Amino acid sequence: MAVRWKKPKDEHIVYEALSAIVDKRFEMLSEFTTKCITSTGDKFYSLEYEPKTQSIMSNEYMTYFYSE
């Protein structure tokens, strides 16, 4: 199975994600679900990993992931 990231709509989302890790602006809600706080601190979004399909879902509108 090939796994590929689609290119983000805007490159800043990559830096946002990396800075969230460095700044520890995330909270693990369960083994496969994370809450991430934006750099401004006024919003948050959820990330969920589905191991069966190796998919990452997010309600952050700039993020896309798919697997073939």
pLDDT per position as a tens digit, 19-42? 888 999 999 999 999 998 888 888
C-beta separation of 22 from 39 below 8 A: no
Q: Which of 1-5, 33-37, 49-53 has the lowest mean pLDDT?
A: 1-5
Distances in Å between the Cα of 57 and the Cα atoms of 27, 40, 47, 60, 64 are: 16, 22, 6, 9, 8
**What is the Cα–Cα distance from 54 to 20, expressed in whole angstroms?**
22
C-beta separation of 18 from 32 below 8 A: no
pTM for the full predicted model: 0.61
In this predicted structure, the answer to whether residue 6 has a pLDDT above a threshold of 90 is no
